[in-house]
Structure 1
Amino acid sequence: MRSNLLPSLNFTMSAEGGYQCNRADDGNWSGGRVGRGNLAGTKYGISAALMAAVMGDVSSVTPTIMRRITDEQARNIATEHFWQVMQCDALPSGVDLMLFDFGFNSSKERAVKQLQHVAGIARPDGVVGQDTLFKLEHSTPASIAPFLSSNYAEQLQHYLGVSPDGAIGPLTLKAAVEQKAHGAMLIYALATQQEAAYRSFKNFSVFGRGWLSRLEARIVAAHHLLSAGSAPATS
């Protein structure tokens, strides 16, 4: 939802650090791979390669350029290159933040393909179009359920107030339908995909604890947006 852009940006920027430069990190090189382009560093989650795409020139991205990135500039880049590209304005409340923050932290294509997978797109292409939005809107608790791990199925059951056994059966599905928990189920389904992705990354042993901590915070923030979006309007 468009109204969720600011809180989503606030969450993502608060999770990102200042300037750092690590020669072994692909994101610190303007060419997107170790040894390609300039070793320029990252700031506020903006990689040197992304900055090269913004500037249109790999060779122009230097440590000085990266150090000069402001919070406002980082937010503008995140909005244009992630929020808008992934069509977050058109996504359900909470799902927008889950997609945006993971896409920014990982990659747009990976994040969108996960969303399409959960929505039932047969051949995910990493681009949010009308088919993806239609499938997402018309997904049901029964169609989303298989995409939840036992851990997140149990969290969903706590959310619904049913006996938490980590297995989504008829009683859980009935409660999900009655409580209109479509958005919550999507949040937990995306969390499942995102956790699996983090665990598959080659540097999980080094950064995994931080990635999973960010994921849990992302879920909490997404639930806040979901609750705010479903609250009745007051006069």
Structure 2
Amino acid sequence: MIDFEKAFRRLVKHEGEFSDDPRDPGNWTGGKVGRGELKGTKYGIAANTYQHLDIKNLTLQQAKEIYLEDFWEVLGSAHPAIKFQFFDAAVNHGGGNATRILQRAVNVADDGLWGPRSQAALNAMDPNDVLLRFIGYRLKFWASLSIFDTYGRGWTRRGADNLLLAAEDN
């Protein structure tokens, strides 16, 4: 069974060290290429979400604390395999997008706010169904992005890896 420590180690392998690729909207404090300050991303902590942080000098421990509070604990007592997939998506797409994707997967209004109705729908579904639907919706999300031609190959590999991990975790 996966726990936060294992999830964190996995995620950091995907996210890596500091990057300030100017083509990546997440690296800009304004969330769009050329908007705001180019502060970059480190360990998956991105300037568009954490404008106030010194991204370049962020420590692994600081990233871990952010991940635990802002992404891992959001789903409470959900199945750990689902928590990992949500965690990975929240870091990759932002918490709001990950929440909307999970809401689509559990057939509730995708308003980006995780509340009792979303949690009840999640709890009522078989974890395997949630995992398959969630990863399917993630693939659709990636494919819809205008920067898919630049980053899509890596995202598709990540999605395939996550399908394999979902089978292992469940």
Question: Quick check: TM above 0.5?
Answer: yes
Residues 207 and 35 from structure 1, CA distance in 2 versus in 1: closer, same or farther, beyond 3 angstroms? closer
Q: Deviations over 1:31-55 (max 9, x none)?
A: 3333333222221111123332xx3
Match of 2:138 in 1: 194
- Compute the displacement of 1:112 (Å): 1.4
Larger Rg: 1
> Tell me, what secondary structure is at the counterpart of 2:3?
helix
8 Å CA contact 1:93–1:183 kept in 2: the answer is no
Match of 1:213 in 2: 157
Match of 1:8 in 2: 7
**Match 1:98 to one of 85, 108, 132:** 85
CA distance in 2, matches of 1:104, 1:72: 16
CA distance in 1, matches of 2:116, 2:133: 21
- Compute the displacement of 1:192 (Å): 0.9
Residues 183 and 78 from structure 1, CA distance in 2 versus in 1: closer, same or farther, beyond 3 angstroms? same
**Match 2:105 to one of 110, 118, 131:** 118
- Compute the displacement of 1:115 (Å): 1.7
Alignment coverage as a number of residue pairs: 170
8 Å CA contact 1:195–1:212 kept in 2: the answer is yes
Q: AA paired with 1:77?
A: I
Identify unmatched segments of 5+ residues in structure 1.
56-60, 140-181, 227-235
Q: TM-score, normalised by structure 2?
A: 0.88
> Tell me, what secondary structure is at the counterpart of 1:30?
coil
**Match 2:72 to one of 65, 77, 83:** 83
Q: AA paired with 2:72?
A: W
8 Å CA contact 2:45–2:63 kept in 1: the answer is yes
8 Å CA contact 2:72–2:84 kept in 1: the answer is no
- Compute the displacement of 1:202 (Å): 0.9
8 Å CA contact 2:75–2:119 kept in 1: the answer is no
CA distance in 2, matches of 1:136, 1:82: 16
8 Å CA contact 1:98–1:219 kept in 2: the answer is no
- Compute the displacement of 1:105 (Å): 0.4
Q: Deviations over 1:108-137 (max 9, x none)?
A: 22221222222221x222122111111122
8 Å CA contact 1:4–1:225 kept in 2: the answer is no
- Compute the displacement of 1:22 (Å): 2.1
Match of 1:135 in 2: 121
Residues 20 and 187 from structure 1, CA distance in 2 versus in 1: closer, same or farther, beyond 3 angstroms? same
RMSD: 2.0
> Is 1:34–2:20 an aligned residue pair?
no
Same amino acid, percent of matched pairs: 27
